[in-house]
């Protein structure tokens, strides 16, 4: 194999496929990036057997076709530090790789490309399509509430619910539920799958923020494929049945609060300064006629604040882990939110003032 390509472009694509390179494995080949030069072009692939990423063809002058697997860490470090604008990569029949750019020349050993595992086959005939930035935002607005332990494996991922017009993304960690809804640009019917949190965390990093960029999603019983145009990402799905989260959201409430989001975040952050252990020393909300009182008390001291709010219904006193509230509020782009309370030991729900784009449910703590 021999080819010439732009250094900055190569660095950009290495950063993408690196997200699917294994850091801890007994199979050294999984710590590599596969470089392929064929009639389709110059392509990079990473695959840790749970998550795989393959780039689209990278602009390059291909002088000899072939493929080689190179240890990702050293390849990335070498290319990133090269002082030339173009990089020449060549291999010999013993899998030695020569990398030349500017005044630098490196020779490292690679592995035969035939040992690199293929990405799973996912039929790409029927797609769910939406804007990349919309999917990126939905992941950001829900991923913080996936379960961090594996006691219930289905909760370590997020539920993707596809239907004719909308996509819903839901995460649950046992203490809260995050729900987001967005329009689909194309669909082919109802489908529910559970996507691993790791996959979504890495996908979020490479999704475009450009308004015109789209992502096509293809689903099988075992895998999900995201086609970003510049690359495809294939991931295993989590097997199992997600909890029936809809039943947790009740339409009944006794108190409704309309409040400025940023004012509430700042108040909770200040109250958290004396809270220390958020589970043992929660922050208390006291709903009055026209104000919310925020109180925190611990062995360090106390904090008390009043926030102006529009409140309808009964006065109520209820306590929460402030981090759960802050994370939900930070994920919301609206200036104001609506919060429904039922009782001091019942969950509250954070909603948009208008529409149904999101719902966040948070369980209270005993005071």
Strands (E) in 39-153, as ranges, are 41-47, 51-55, 60-64, 66-71, 86-91, 96-101, 104-109, 111-112, 128-131
Please give the structure tokens belonging to residue 281.
């020393």
Which conformational region is residue 72 in: left (phi greater than 0), alpha (psi within -120 to 50 degrees), or beta?
alpha
Query: What local confidence, expressed as pLDDT, does residue 118 receive?
Result: 95
Which among 26, 9, 12, 153 has a CA at the least distance from the CA of 85? 9
Could you count the other beta carbons within 10 Å of the beta carbon of residue 238? Answer: 19
- Topology at the third CATH level for domain 128-245: DNA Polymerase III; Chain A, domain 2 (3.10.150)
Query: What local confidence, expressed as pLDDT, does residue 149 receive?
Result: 86
List the domain boundaries for the chain: 2-115, 128-245, 249-362
Query: What local confidence, expressed as pLDDT, does residue 275 receive?
Result: 74
Sheet holding 157-162, edge to edge: 191-196, 157-162, 166-172, 176-183, 358-362, 348-352, 336-341, 255-260, 310-313
Query: What local confidence, expressed as pLDDT, does residue 24 receive?
Result: 80
Which among 191, 81, 83, 180 has a CA at the least distance from the CA of 135? 180
Query: What local confidence, expressed as pLDDT, does residue 276 receive?
Result: 67
Identify the architecture of domain 2-115 in CATH: Roll (3.10)
- Same fold flag, 2-115 and 249-362: yes
d(CA 42, CA 60): 6
Query: What local confidence, expressed as pLDDT, does residue 57 receive?
Result: 97
CATH code assigned to 249-362: 3.10.150.10
Query: What local confidence, expressed as pLDDT, does residue 107 receive?
Result: 96
Please give the structure tokens belonging to residue 67.
């493929």
Question: CA of 163: how far to CAs of 127, 160, 166, 210, 227, in Å?
Answer: 12, 10, 6, 25, 19
d(CA 134, CA 184): 10
Please give the structure tokens belonging to residue 6.
């732009």
Helices (H), the chain: 7-17, 72-81, 132-140, 197-206, 261-272, 322-330
Q: What share of the chain is helix, strand, coil (3-state, %, to 5)?
A: 20, 45, 35
pTM equals 0.94
| Residue spans of the chain under pLDDT 50 | none
């Amino acid at each position: 194999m021999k080819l010439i390509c732009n250094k900055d472009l190569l660095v950009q694509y290495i950063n993408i496929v690196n997200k699917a390179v294994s850091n801890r494995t007994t199979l050294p080949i999984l710590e590599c990036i596969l470089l392929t030069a064929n009639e389709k072009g110059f392509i990079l692939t990473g695959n840790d057997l749970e998550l795989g990423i393959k780039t689209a063809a990278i602009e390059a002058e291909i002088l000899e076709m072939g493929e080689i697997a190179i240890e990702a860490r050293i390849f990335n470090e070498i290319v990133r530090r090269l002082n030339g604008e173009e990089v020449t990569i060549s291999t010999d029949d013993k899998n030695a790789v020569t990398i030349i750019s500017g005044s630098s020349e490196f020779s490292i050993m690679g592995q035969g490309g035939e040992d690199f595992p293929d990405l799973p086959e996912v039929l790409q005939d029927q797609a769910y399509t939406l804007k990349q930035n919309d999917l990126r935002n939905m992941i950001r607005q829900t991923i913080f509430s996936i379960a961090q332990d594996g006691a219930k494996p289905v909760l370590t991922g997020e539920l993707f619910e596809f239907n004719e017009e909308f996509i819903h993304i839901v995460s649950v960690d046992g203490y809260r539920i995050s729900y987001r809804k967005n329009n689909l640009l194309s669909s082919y019917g109802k489908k529910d799958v559970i996507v691993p949190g790791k996959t979504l965390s890495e996908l979020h990093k490479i999704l475009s923020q450009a308004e015109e960029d789209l992502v096509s999603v293809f689903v099988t019983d075992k895998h999900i494929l995201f086609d970003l145009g510049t690359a495809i990402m294939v991931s295993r799905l989590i097997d199992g049945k997600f909890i029936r989260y809809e039943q947790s959201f009740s339409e009944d409430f006794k108190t409704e609060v309309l409040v400025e989001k940023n004012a509430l975040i700042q108040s909770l952050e200040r109250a958290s300064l004396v809270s220390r252990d958020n589970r043992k020393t929660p922050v208390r909300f006291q709903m009055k006629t026209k104000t919310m009182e925020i109180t925190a008390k611990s062995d360090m001291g106390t904090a008390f604040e009043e926030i102006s709010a529009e409140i309808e219904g009964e006065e109520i006193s209820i306590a929460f882990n402030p981090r759960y509230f802050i994370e939900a509020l930070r994920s919301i782009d609206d200036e104001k939110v609506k919060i429904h309370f039922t009782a001091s030991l019942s969950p509250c729900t954070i909603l948009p003032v208008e529409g149904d784009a999101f719902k966040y449910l948070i369980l209270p703590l005993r005071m």
